[in-house]
Chain A
């Protein structure tokens, strides 16, 4: 593992009001990549993402951190999806890393192929990232991803989870939460929105492959995200990071609320931030001030029906999922757990 100063994880300076993590009081070397003037700018201005796009934010934070960690010796393979489409309206491209898009379901395999090529050519210094949306990861790209894990290919796979197929117009994926409205799970009938199925957690499935490093992160906590990417780049073998990236267009939220919604998803327990090494959980980010799921839901039109009295059972189900996450991952400190 790369040596990351403890302080990066431990020190938390929050802005009042927005509760964003501040740079001002940190030592220069502990500040965010984004705070440095000489940052790489992996994802340049001019791309076509919607205003407030969590995926654009997450990708830039993650790839900038990875570029810094690898001294810019990085190649990225990208699945079809919003990130691919909004960054490369050819002949323009927003990427300043060598980047390839092949298909929707094969980013992990393309990444594995690039890594094999680098190994064959003796270029161990060049590192590989494969990335895609939740659909390209948990659904159509799942076979290739599991194959990459199983072979322990030297690739970091990053999933930008916005909980639906956004690029094709907001259809349900297996990462879409219960009750959520999408174009294929409309809020009609007795149980409006998406069905509450059994759920499918790719981070836990990745852990079951015993790969060296698995983490979840969110665009509201830049330091944590950068820390995890940096840590991942210090490890050889298959690694998986899932980043929670709100989508204003698909979720029916205000572009200015993206970071806030991301924070609330974590604080209510619906999106736990965890780290695992070789199949064992090695760290969880404790919830600072536990929030009812309703506070998170009410900022998003995709859940509007859940907050109506008729659908109280759906609200209860979502709260139960959050509560189960909290107890399962021990997200709240025993002594009340709240600062």
Chain B
């Protein structure tokens, strides 16, 4: 049914349609609306046979899901930012134990300095944790990918994160087609665990594993993610059959075939980019885009196949491996290492900095001229950076960088308006 709804509400409806049995969550902006809506639905009896646990922390939230999933219940949680870090020990534990929990990440920057706005710092902090990580571009995608996520998770016995940009998606209203219960039931069978806590057949789960077996256990975790590379497109196709929409999959091309320059990115920013790129193509520039929808597993082969004929790639990402550079860029370079393709790395949108059509076009043009620094910090105000560096050279007790910069932003901005 078509509805004009908030992204968070759409996700809550999608999760409810998946018939979760245990939901456990702790509030953090911008994830809050999702779990508020689910809490209301459970309390009002809108989700049958579902328990909602109001826990004392994110660590408790995911730990409760570990218990409920191990006991054979379809389990769901959601978090963002600091919440992801607070639960991190359980994040690794859930994947290590092969528990098919689904978690929404309303992507938000990680502090300090504390910042509630969107970037991918939280999801990236868990990129090696063994979870499948799917990024969505729109609220319709968010709905569709959640439904696919439960199926994928349960088929592989692996947890899945659905990453959606905080505020940009979670808090925006758009037209979303909410599927019918019969459609979801036809797509998503009941959860049949590989191992379950059951008094009739007692098993011990979560035992210690030493050097004699750890490598093989880890290898199999990797192997399962490689299996997911096949399963994700299969499920997207099966989804399309029932729901009539092309949603999910490993990557999505936006006229990247035959383009000299291809922009590679993830998440909702592709929406703005599509318009910019269309404008550039209208001006005769050979440029397209490719969205990475599955970040873990990283679809190296698919990316190679899509990008092999490009002359250059501009990777745009909302995250930074401090001391190294772009994370998506690093991963992509690994995928393209055998091809003579220039890969430029641009980092932007950190802590919610707006990404506009005008500044995107300037950045793409710089990339096409192969004049980008490595890495390139999109839309950075270098005069502000220089002021702080100068202050640090001038005095030992120069104070907090964060507060200094905030003051400078005000001063410099005021000076610019004069």
Which positions in A face B, CB cutoff 8 Å? 72-75, 77, 84-85, 88-91, 93, 95-103, 105-106, 109-122, 126, 143-144, 146-147, 150-151, 153
Contact = CB atoms under 8 A, between A and B. Distances in A.
A103 B65 CA distance: 13
B206 interface: yes
B66 A110 contact: yes
25 contacts: A74-B199, A75-B199, A89-B207, A98-B202, A98-B204, A102-B66, A106-B59, A109-B67, A110-B63, A111-B67, A112-B60, A112-B64, A114-B68, A114-B71, A114-B197, A115-B67, A116-B67, A116-B73, A120-B22, A121-B73, A144-B59, A144-B63, A147-B57, A151-B53, A151-B54
A143 B56 CA distance: 7
A126 to B, nearest CB: 6
Interface stretch (B9-17, B30-38, B89-97): B89-97
A72 B199 contact: yes
B257 interface: no
**Residue with the greatest number of chain A CB neighbours at <10 A, chosen from B22, B54, B71:** B71
5 closest Cβ contacts across the A-B interface? A113-B67, A147-B56, A113-B64, A109-B63, A117-B73
Nearest to B71: A117
B203 A98 contact: yes
**Secondary structure dominating the interface of A:** mixed
Contact of B59 (A98, A101, A105): A105
B71 A90 contact: no
Contacts of A147: 55-57, 60
B204 A143 contact: no
Contact of A112 (B21, B53, B206, B209): B53
A116 B199 contact: no
B202 A102 contact: no
**Residue with the greatest number of chain A CB neighbours at <10 A, chosen from B75, B90, B202:** B202
B54 A90 contact: no
B248 interface: no
Nearest to B97: A102
A77 B206 CA distance: 10
Contacts of B67: 77, 100, 102, 109-117
B192 to A, nearest CB: 14
B198 interface: yes
Contacts of B57: 143-144, 147
A73 B207 contact: no
B270 interface: no
Interface in B254-312: none
Contacts of B71: 75, 113-114, 117-118
For chain B, which range describes its interface: under 10, 10 to 19, 20 to 34, or 35 or more residues?
35 or more
B56 A98 contact: no
A122 B50 CA distance: 10
Interface in B198-232: 198-199, 201-209
Contacts of B203: 98-99
Nearest to B61: A109
B207 A101 contact: yes
A281 B43 CA distance: 35
A117 B72 contact: yes
Given A102-B66, A150-B56, 19 more contacts: A89-B208, A93-B207, A98-B197, A98-B204, A99-B203, A99-B205, A101-B205, A102-B93, A109-B55, A109-B63, A109-B64, A109-B67, A116-B24, A120-B22, A120-B50, A120-B73, A122-B49, A144-B63, A147-B55
**Residue with the greatest number of chain A CB neighbours at <10 A, chosen from B56, B65, B69:** B56
B73 A73 contact: no
Given A110-B64, A116-B53, A96 B202 contact: yes
A99 B195 CA distance: 12
A106 B60 CA distance: 7
Contact of A97 (B54, B69, B93, B199): B199
Contacts of A113: 22, 24, 53, 63-71, 75
Contacts of A106: 59-60, 63, 66, 90
B60 A143 contact: yes
B72 A121 contact: yes
Contacts of A103: 63, 89-90, 93
Nearest to A93: B204
A102 B69 CA distance: 12
Nearest to A78: B206
A100 B55 contact: no
Contacts of A115: 67
Contacts of B379: none
A101 B72 CA distance: 16
B22 A116 contact: yes
Nearest to A72: B199
Nearest to A73: B199
B146 to A, nearest CB: 19
Nearest to B23: A116
A262 B43 CA distance: 47
**Residue with the greatest number of chain A CB neighbours at <10 A, chosen from B54, B69, B197:** B197
A114 B67 CA distance: 5
Contacts of B75: 113, 117
B145 to A, nearest CB: 24
A90 B202 contact: no
A143 B54 CA distance: 13
A56 B222 CA distance: 37
Contacts of B55: 109, 112, 147, 151
B164 to A, nearest CB: 24
B408 interface: no
